[in-house]
Structure 1
Amino acid sequence: MPRPYSDQERAYIRKRLHEEAVLCIKQYGMRKTSVDELVQRVNIPKGTFYLFYPSKEMLFFEVIMDFHDTVQAEVLKAAGALKGDMTPDALTDLLFRFCKMADDSVLVPMIVSGDLELLMRRLPDEVVAAHQAQDDFSVQQLAAMLPEAEGKNLELFSAALRAVFLLLLHKREIGAPMFDDVLKMLLRGVSIQLFEEKK
């Protein structure tokens, strides 16, 4: 049976598991990473891993959610700072920064490899439902900072942003030299429609 750990030790082990999970995603992908690999990298007994996570999928999900929460907080903070000066161009720049952060993260390799889809299938339904509810709340928080968004279909706006985000998977086909310009153009189109007056 694994020995009890102090709060400091627990925080350190959790941090190290996250760090190694990120490295494993980049090196092998989630599918090819085993719990044995993770505990060897962190130098803990295998039983200790299960004190922290019921499965490797929950560890990988937590890593993704940490990134998600960090980006979300930054987007909402930046939007809050622009509250009085929010324009379609300012919103476009804000959303573009979010996409670039995602592009440089572990999220895109997980999507491309199919690991994210596999991960979502293996998570308990209540975990997936909680994540989706959190995403919906985030879009509502962002929209609350935009008076122009009042009464608009936020689900459609959210779906349009997801569609633009998924372009990150096709950077090579679109053409890497022009990709950022294409991404900005599409984000600007979504932003302009959000600011348009209802007819």
Structure 2
Amino acid sequence: MPKTYSDKEKEYIKIQLKKAAVECMTLYGVKKTTVDELVKKVNIPKGTFYLFYDSKELLLFDAINELHNELEKQFLQNLNLLSDQMDVDKLTDLLCDMIRQVDNTYLLKILTSGDMELIMRKLPDEVVEKHLTQDDFNTEKLFSFIPKAKDKNVEAFSGALRGAFLTLLYKREIGEEIFEKSLKLMIRGIILQLME
């Protein structure tokens, strides 16, 4: 019979599993991260892992999504501070800063190694769809700060911003010395179209 855990214990285990997931993804990558390694780091029985997650990919995605949500929350807070003085340059700088923050996390390594694709392929369709819908919803939040954006296509702009973000994968090919300027041009172009 499986052990029962209090709500406090469940919360603690879930936090520790996500920390272990980040550590393992960073050290070993997705392929070499195993449920055995994760439960060893958290000091729980293997069966307990499956009380929390149906697969290691769901845990890894949950950990990645948590970082994504933290960065987005910070972005929206900064956006809120700018709301009275919103202009193309300030919004461009804010979006570029967010992308720079991502560049300084483990997330870029996951994206550039192809590990994110491995995770996404093994996720249930509804989890992937929910994630993409959440991105569109957050673009809608951005739109709410820009009066002229209300008639724009949220999905198209959400996709364009995702595309600009994904240029991080090609930083070397673009040229590291001009990457910042190139990224700023792309973001500025999107923002100009959004605010026109």
TM class by shorter-chain length? over 0.9
187-196 vs 46-55, which deviates more? 187-196
Tell me the CA shift for residue 107 of structure 1: 2.1
Q: What amino acid is aligned across from residue 94 of structure 2 in structure 1? A: L
Q: What amino acid is aligned across from residue 21 of structure 1 in structure 2? A: A
2:161 paired residue number: 161
Unpaired runs of 5+ in structure 1? none
1:139 paired residue number: 139
2:66 paired residue number: 66
Tell me the CA shift for residue 8 of structure 1: 2.2
Q: How many residues align?
A: 196
TM-score by length of 2: 0.93
Tell me the CA shift for residue 178 of structure 1: 2.5
1:106 paired residue number: 106
Q: What is the percentage of aligned positions where both structures have the same residue?
A: 49
- The answer on 1:190 being equivalent to 2:193 is no
Q: C-alpha distance in 2, partners of 1:26/1:34?
A: 13
Tell me the CA shift for residue 46 of structure 1: 0.5
Tell me the CA shift for residue 156 of structure 1: 2.3
18-27 vs 97-106, which deviates more? 97-106
Unpaired runs of 5+ in structure 2? none
Residue correspondence of structure 1 range 14-33 to structure 2 within 5 A: 14-33=14-33
Q: What amino acid is aligned across from residue 116 of structure 1 in structure 2? A: M
- Would the aligned equivalents of 2:135 and 2:158 in 1 still touch at CA under 8 Å? no
TM-score by length of 1: 0.92
- The answer on 1:152 being equivalent to 2:152 is yes
RMSD: 1.4
Q: What amino acid is aligned across from residue 52 of structure 2 in structure 1? A: F
**Secondary structure at 1:5's aligned position in 2?**
coil
1:39 paired residue number: 39
Moved over 6 A (4+): none
1:90 paired residue number: 90
**Secondary structure at 1:150's aligned position in 2?**
helix
Partner deviation per Cα, 1:31-61 (whole Å, 9 max, x = no partner): 1111001111111111111111111011011
Partner deviation per Cα, 1:9-29 (whole Å, 9 max, x = no partner): 222211111111111111111
- The answer on 1:176 being equivalent to 2:167 is no
